[in-house]
Structure 1
Amino acid sequence: MTTLSGSSDALYAYTPILKPSSSTVVTSETSPAKSPLMESSLMEGLQDVPIHQYIGIPNLRRHVRAQSTELQAGRSNQQYLVFQGVTEYHLGKIDHERASIGKHTRMSHDTDDDLLVIKLMPSARHENAHITLGMELVLALIGMGLPRRCLYALGGTTFHGHNSSKEADSAYKPISRTQETDWPTIVFESGLSESLTRLRHDAQWWLTNSGGDVNIVVVISITPAVKRLRFEKWCLRPAPGNMPTTRAHPNRNPLVPTRVQEVTVTQNPAAQPSTAAQPSATIQPGPPPSYAVAGAPLTLEFQDILLRAPVPPEGNVTFTRADLEQFAEDFWECVN
């Protein structure tokens, strides 16, 4: 496990949320009001999402399909569904029926509160960002001379934390981690900008529950209205403060999930197409889109991903301003 040192570029530190008693129950199919479940860490960023009582796979499937339809049609930006009363036994049944429920889903489960959170990824807009950035990472490593299979793609593999489980949008581990249960070293999570708080919770989950085996989480937040992509890199860093180290307290600043970098790429307002004086003239296309980039470059450390020091020409994977502009242009063209 890589040991991470402090950094003055830390932007945000995570404060854990206390979990409630597991005896809380939602009695109706949907709870419209805020309940004690909202204090569960699994519910962070989902305070406005109704909690459905789990009454069987057909009902769950109906909710998933209905909300996916709303997302694809652009009538909703809500990517999440929450179900109460889902035990580990139920979760096994649900997983067995996953193909009929929807392959475009990611699931998180809390065993203490029997809560199931389903994240919907029903279109290119939802899937393209994390898949493409993961591909760009692998291609960059291959360009340094590494073998094509220097990283294993784990996709939506389920990983189990202390009292919960989760599936990533995309995740990768180096070939040196040979066990099936080995955690990834880098994870990508993406979603619409309305779910940014939730995406940050996901980043914190990976870094905390892996015991430090996950070294980097990249969050990608998508804002279609203004064609903005926001990238956040999360790592473990010492907690804020300058607490003295003593023999009795050798580690007074424990490592906590911290947002260490953020980059935004926003499309500039497009110029209006020009027309000739005659009404019947052909409308000329406007100039290609340009982008305002803040916070570049986005840097992914080689040693944290491959778990060894780089040997030149190997080095950190750096996405420059130009790289991110091209990434954004390709993304918006794909999902337009």
Structure 2
Amino acid sequence: MEPSNITSGLPEDYVTHPFTSLSKLSIEAERVLERLNQNDDAGNQYILVLNLPRAIRSQLVENKNVLHGINFRLMFERTTALIKVVPSEPHETATSRLRDHITASAVLAGTSMDDILWSGKTTHRPSVAADKGKQAHDCFIPPTRQPRGNQPQGWPSLVIETGVSESLTRLRHDARWWFENSEGAVRTVILLSIKRIQKTILLEKWQLSPPGQSVTLQQALRIQQMAIPPMPPLGLQQAANQYPFIAQTATITTANATGSLPIHLHYQALFDRAPGPGQPDIRLDAAALMRLAVSLQ
């Protein structure tokens, strides 16, 4: 399997923008957002930026309002960057409600709020010197990887990537990027593909199989039918030995949620430690998932 790269799986109508100035890039982002708004969040949300100066890249990384306040997420490789324009409230609402439900479930199970850290638009790199990086829509940093003293922040254990339905293929490549570049330190990636016109969210929960063990489509379908899917591997894996697959999936509306329910997050994989007494795994049932679609009404 070829490694995922910055152009993998982009929609056919993605925008290519040779960089000349930040103001022109902001205008391009405004055009993409305007087209999305006109089409009820259907269509392209990506801008591929070429010849991006390092100083401008730093501004995109550090200043969330640098594109005239337009909400976006960034990925980059050397002088090429991929900007994902976040179109509307349902995308942020779905992501934040998923995050909040996971947090509330963990706290109700006795987890301290001090152990819970969501990292939002933090840029993650394979190494400090690496000339590539990526921002998640949101991500969870377990206690063992949180910045303390001289210890820098580590990889998230859970990543959430959200996009319009036309971006689903690209989102799947995003899942692979997180697994490959973290060498399996990222254990779970949840994709939220939003169809605003149909008032529907497709959720896919991705994870890795044990090192070197491929997963056929039939095997993945059997796993999706399990009451409790297997826990993601806890050790690191080189990218060449990885086999990511969809462990669970759900179709969500404001009226119902169907699929491999409940969506199951293993406590040990999420918090990078064994659960204590009375700390169960986190389960997202139909009622919890339906709340993700509340702003699609």
- Quickly name the TM-score band, shorter chain normalised: 0.7 to 0.9
Counterpart of 2:102 in structure 1 is 137
TM-score, length of structure 1 as denominator length? 0.72
| CA spacing shift, 1:95–1:217, aligned 2, 3 Å | closer
Aligned-partner SS, 2:144: coil
Counterpart of 2:2 in structure 1 is 16
The correspondence of residues 23-62 of structure 1 with structure 2, limited to 5 A, is 41-48=5-12, 49-62=14-27
The correspondence of residues 86-235 of structure 1 with structure 2, limited to 5 A, is 86-95=52-61, 98-101=64-67, 102=69, 104-111=71-78, 114-161=79-126, 163-179=131-147, 180-235=152-207
For residues 56 and 163 of structure 1, the distance between their equivalents in structure 2, rounded to whole angstroms, comes to 21
Aligned-partner SS, 1:71: helix
Q: CA RMSD in A?
A: 2.4
Cα drift, residue 121 of structure 1:
1.2
For residues 42 and 176 of structure 1, the distance between their equivalents in structure 2, rounded to whole angstroms, comes to 29
For residues 50 and 323 of structure 1, the distance between their equivalents in structure 2, rounded to whole angstroms, comes to 36
| CA spacing shift, 1:77–1:47, aligned 2, 3 Å | closer
Do 1:144 and 1:313's aligned partners in 2 also have CA atoms closer than 8 Å? yes
Aligned-partner SS, 1:194: helix
Identity %, equivalent residues = 27
Deviations 1:180-210 (A, max 9, x none): 3311111111111111011111111111111
Q: Of 68, 77, 83, which residue of structure 1 is paired with 2:43?
A: 77
Cα drift, residue 335 of structure 1:
3.9
Structure 2 segments unaligned to the other structure (5+ residues): 217-237
For residues 213 and 292 of structure 1, the distance between their equivalents in structure 2, rounded to whole angstroms, comes to 30
Q: What is the aligned length? A: 263
Counterpart of 1:256 in structure 2 is 243
Counterpart of 1:283 in structure 2 is none
Higher Cα Rg, which structure: 1
Deviations 1:150-172 (A, max 9, x none): 21111110011355210011111
Q: Which has the higher helix share?
A: 2
Do 1:171 and 1:186's aligned partners in 2 also have CA atoms closer than 8 Å? yes
For residues 187 and 155 of structure 2, the distance between their equivalents in structure 1, rounded to whole angstroms, comes to 10
Structure 1 segments unaligned to the other structure (5+ residues): 1-14, 18-39, 243-250, 268-289
| CA spacing shift, 1:241–1:82, aligned 2, 3 Å | closer
Do 2:180 and 2:242's aligned partners in 1 also have CA atoms closer than 8 Å? no
Do 1:57 and 1:94's aligned partners in 2 also have CA atoms closer than 8 Å? no
- Amino acid across the alignment from 2:58: G
For residues 62 and 120 of structure 2, the distance between their equivalents in structure 1, rounded to whole angstroms, comes to 18
- Amino acid across the alignment from 1:92: S
Do 1:264 and 1:295's aligned partners in 2 also have CA atoms closer than 8 Å? no
TM-score, length of structure 2 as denominator length? 0.81
Aligned-partner SS, 2:169: helix
